[in-house]
Structure 1
Amino acid sequence: MTVKAKKHLGQHFLKDESIAERIAETLSFKGYKHVLEIGPGMGVLTKYLLKKDTTTHVIEIDSESVEYLKNNYLNLADRIIEKDFLKYDINDVFKGEPFALIGNYPYNISSQIVFKTLELRDQIPEFSGMFQKEVALRICSKEGSKVYGILSVLTQAYYDAEYLFTVPPTVFNPPPKVDSGVLRLTRKQDKTLPCDDKLFFRVVKTAFQQRRKTLRNSLKTMNLSDNLKANTIFGQRPEQLSVPQFIELATLIENDVH
């Protein structure tokens, strides 16, 4: 049997073995015992992960794919989680232990997967896999780029992001309408910020909601003191600030005394 790709799940099955193998090689498999693959489909990537010294788990929402994997990967059967990664408490399985995340991510939820990874960053030292190319470029982009935004800053505050290679639509069934891109995120050795994390997230999101305005205007709702707003950093637009500058900005706001 083969699994029929379902549009509402954003499924595009990779059929190129060499690319699947290359994606499997993007993880170091060091510093953790477990790997979680999101959306394995018919297991084209899974088979290469199973050859590694780590223990591979997969999470899959599509019951037809789950049945296929149970029938074709017998040694994986008890490590197939039939759940939605975005809604499931993964610590039912990992009990607080570190794990790496990998997958050919469904395009329609790929950004949400990154945000969930950031919530679980204390447990996820490595994250790699395939996205729509423009999303992969956005995650890895630097200040000054048109695509630099919330996803870029929040991810790069905690992880080093590398865009690795581009994958054409022809290697999928059915082929998507756009190129795909493979990236790798490696957690920074010092992943703690000098400011409150929730405040940092709020500053970044608020700033980019009005990306054309200066920070003095876009952060008005944060009720900052006039003294703080006189700082030259507030004369800049959000896309001009590097990740360390955003961290500095959130720290200034946290220490702002009216």
Structure 2
Amino acid sequence: MKKENSNKLRENADTGTVRAKKHLGQHFLKDEVIAEKIGDTLSMQGYKNVLEIGPGMGVLTKYLINKDVDVIAMDLDTESIAYLEEKYPNKNLKILEADFLKYDLSQLFGEAQFGITGNFPYNISTQIVFKMLEWKEQIPEFTGMFQKEVAERICEKEGSKAYGILSVLAQAFYDAEYLFTVPPTVFNPPPKVDSGVLRLRRKENFAIACSEKMLYKVVKTAFQQRRKTLRNSLKSFNLSDKIKEDAIFGQRPEQLSVSQFIALTQKLENDAISTHR
């Protein structure tokens, strides 16, 4: 039975067809111009390795392997893997059947720096960003296509209702830029929403002046009750009476810039130390 499945996959590769699978959130990009534009979003500055997540039928892969870089195309879909192996037997391309969210990224390029790009499945796109942030020491640049509202949210600044957890945590370490919008008509099958392409470039000095773990906790706790002032939404941090008097606690989370969230986290860390003395 396994051999029959393997033969069927090879036949699909030969005929140039891969069936889009709904449970994998697949929408195959078919527009060559847009694929090339996404490929060009990577500057390749400071790295010579690229990971493409969710290559599908390789429309973006084709442009990546023409650059002076080593490319790993990672996909969960066995059918896509078979198609890519048949169509792109390229010396600077490694095709890997794996789940990005579960994969140990140190196995990809060792300790070398690498960029990430892709036409990301909508159903796991935010999880992809959170995992990328865990590996930021090795990832100077991250670009790709998301559902438009998610891409906008990641790049949004304070003062907007779209500004939230993803915005703050991504922009704490990266400069975020929304690049362009992509209509549903350039996909097969077409999604029901527009897509957006963004670029995250790691800051030159991306060390922050507080505990990363604490920053994540503060940001997530604050935005879970985004309509409340920080004085109320951060009650679980056991704020001292003195720190509650700080004007910042009278604000709502969407009013704080990324640097203010870092400063807030420092205040909470110092308050916890002084309270337990």
Structure-2 residue corresponding to 1:227: 242
Question: Corresponding residue for 1:209?
Answer: 224
- 1:93: Cα distance to partner? 2.0
TM-score by length of 2: 0.92
Query: Does residue 68 of the first structure (1) align with residue 83 of the second (2)?
Result: yes
Alignment deviations for residues 169-204 of structure 1 (CA, whole Å, 9 cap, x no partner): 000000000000000000001100100100010000
CA distance in 1, matches of 2:219, 2:91: 40
* Total equivalences in the alignment: 258
Q: Distance in 2 between matches of 1:44 and 1:76?
A: 17
The residue matched to 2:43 in structure 1 has which SS? coil
- C-alpha distance in 2, partners of 1:167/1:79? 28
* Residue type of the alignment partner of 1:70: E
**Which aligned runs of 4 or more in structure 1 are off by greater than 2 angstroms?**
none
Q: Which amino acid aligns with 2:255?
A: Q
CA deviation vs aligned residue, 1:70-101 (integer Å, no higher than 9, x gap) = 00001169711110000010111221211000
Whole-Å separation in 2 of the counterparts to 1:53 and 1:224: 53
* Equivalent in the alignment of 2:60: 45
Contact preservation (8 Å) 2:223, 2:253: yes
Provide the rounded CA distance (Å) in 2 between the counterparts of 1:52 and 1:78: 11
Distance 1:3 1:43 in 2: 11
Stretch moving more, 87-96 or 146-155: 87-96
Gaps of 5+ in 2: 1-14
- Give the whole-Å Cα distance in 2 for the aligned partners of 1:41 and 1:247: 39
CA deviation map 1:224-243 (0-9, x unaligned): 21111110000000000011
In structure 2, the residue matched to 1:178 is 193
Distance in 1 of aligned mates of 2:49 and 2:210: 31
Within 5 A, what are the aligned runs for 1:35-184? 35-75=50-90, 79-184=94-199
The percent of aligned pairs where both chains have the same amino acid is 68
Please give the per-residue CA displacement for 1:44-65, whole angstroms capped at 9, x wherever unaligned. Answer: 0000000111111111000000
Look up the SS of the partner of 1:58 in the other structure.
Answer: strand
- Partners of 1:216 and 1:19 in 2: how far apart? 46
Kindly state the Cα deviation for residue 145 of structure 1 after the two structures are TM-superposed: 0.6
Structure 1 contact 70–76 (Cα < 8 Å) conserved: no
2:24 matches 1:23: no
Q: What is the alpha-carbon root mean square deviation over aligned residues? A: 1.0
Aligned partners of 2:179, 2:36: CA distance in 1, in Å?
14
**8 Å CA contact 1:23, 1:45 repeated in 2:** yes
SS of residue matched to 2:73? strand
Structure 2 residue matching 1:255: 3-state secondary structure: helix
C-alpha contact 2:56 2:75 (8 A) present in aligned 1: yes
* Counterpart Cα distance in 2 of 1:78 and 1:187: 25
SS state at 2:222 partner: helix
Provide the TM-score with structure 1 as the length reference.
Answer: 0.98
On the 8 A contact 2:73/2:94 being kept in 1, the answer is: yes
2:233 maps to what in 1? 218
Matching residue's letter, 2:254:
E
Instruction: Deviation per CA, 1:78-128: give whole Å up to 9, x if none.
Output: 711110000010111221211000000000000000000110110100000
Q: What is the identity, as a one-letter code, of the residue corresponding to 2:28?
A: F
2:231/2:250 contact within 8 Å kept: yes
CA 1:76/1:205 → structure 2, altered by over 3 Å: closer, same or farther? Answer: farther
Matched, 1:197 2:212: yes
